[in-house]
Structure 1
Amino acid sequence: MSLLGGFAAAAPESGGAAGVPRHVAIIMDGNGRWAKARRLPRIAGHRKGAEAVRATVRAAHEIGIEALTLYAFSSENWRRPATEIADLMGLLRHYIRAELAELARNGVRLRVIGDWRKLEPDIVTMLDEAITGTAGNAGLTLTIALNYGAQDELLRVTRDLMRQARSGAIDPEALTETMIEDRLDTAGLPRLDLLIRTSGEQRLSNFLLWQAAYAELVFTDRLWPDFDKAALLDACAVFARRERRYGGL
């Protein structure tokens, strides 16, 4: 079954409709615990988690969400056992091969954020081809965070601004929030509305720190492999009930 297999190719309702967040990000947590509870190897949890990705992408399209950003592999995940990292990279290769045709057919545009070009060369090539092959699509934007860390992202932006300031291209006194946002990995995406974390943990874990400044945060005890359309709808319902003041009254 492919990542987007089974959902209609028709365009969804316009994003931003009443109660529907335009941009949703998810920290997909709990694959290992899901497997442990069933006395299965951790890779079984990751495979089941990939099925949850399919269901969630399909649901986001149907609901009318414009952008879905998934935290797939953090810069800190390199600390995991080498065998688990190898399994994860193998799973990534498999799904890139399996999903590209479906992404294109269903109008989904793929983006990748993070320092992902430091992954193995064949994975980088496959991702480049997937990004190029879906660049003209106008449906849901699916962004995968790979080798991503928000502190690293902000450090890269800071270094770029400092280089331009030294060359005289930028006046430090004229620096604006927009100038920073235009250099973030997420530049061009709608502002983040809703950030969801599964598995009961209640922290951002170095994910979209700048972008989450005024996002609504929803934490659920559900483990990622059990996440589905109903869980996404529940989170969106919580979002719809909240009053967003952005610091005002």
Structure 2
Amino acid sequence: MYTVGELLRQWRHRRGLSQLDLAIAADVSARHVSLVETGKSNPSADMILRLAEQLGVPLRERNRLLLAAGFAPRYARRPLDGDALKAAWDAIARVLRAHEPYPALVVDRGWNIVMTNRAIDPFLANVAPDLLRPPVNMVRLGLDPRGFAPRIVNLAEVRSLLRTRIARQLAAAPDPGLTALYEELLAPGGENVRHPAGSEIAIPMIFRFGERELRLFSTTTTFGTPLDITLDEVTIESYYPADAESAAYFTSAGSGAGT
């Protein structure tokens, strides 16, 4: 079991900072940072959180730092659909509804789908039922041959993009479950993917439905200043048409993916 000083040093190394860098950012002395890391000084809970803030430590891991120092956890982890987070749930639901007729969904830190809007439903047609049993994992849904994979024209490119995003996520905050998902579905296999340049505003995901191709790019939205672990770990993934033909498909009356 690591001490709080050892954990803080690990996070500092992960962020590529020197003790002086961290000290300047947190407005403390480099000597104090050194004493905390070596266990020669017992930091207060407020000092731990100040250093954690400058290191960009996720709320879940800030609780771990506090526990290692003998303090009670500071951040709760409440269900998104519970009474305590009702305002946040309602806000997310409004964002998803407002994005229609384009698809949008919410995922947690393990890429499990928490909520979707109605525009997602047609994409789930013909997906194997076991892939739709909760928790539905977005990465597995996208890459499994019984999920979206047969419909994604640029599957190798999409896999490469997911690999980059999740590798970056793991570098920022290691997670055993996400590591297992990465090793299962995204471990590099020697493929050499070249991303388009020039004409695209973003690398699209290209879906094939019959004779039609839909080109979509995505944006992500997170809560700016969450004080709850659940809110700290959810992301809204919103998809937009990348060309006029795809936009017309979604906005035309009675359209439905898979028809």
Same fold per superposition (TM over 0.5): no
**Normalization by structure 1: what TM-score?**
0.26
Higher relative contact order (CA 8 A, sep 6+): 1
**Normalization by structure 2: what TM-score?**
0.25
Report which of the two structures shows the higher radius of gyration computed on alpha carbons: 2
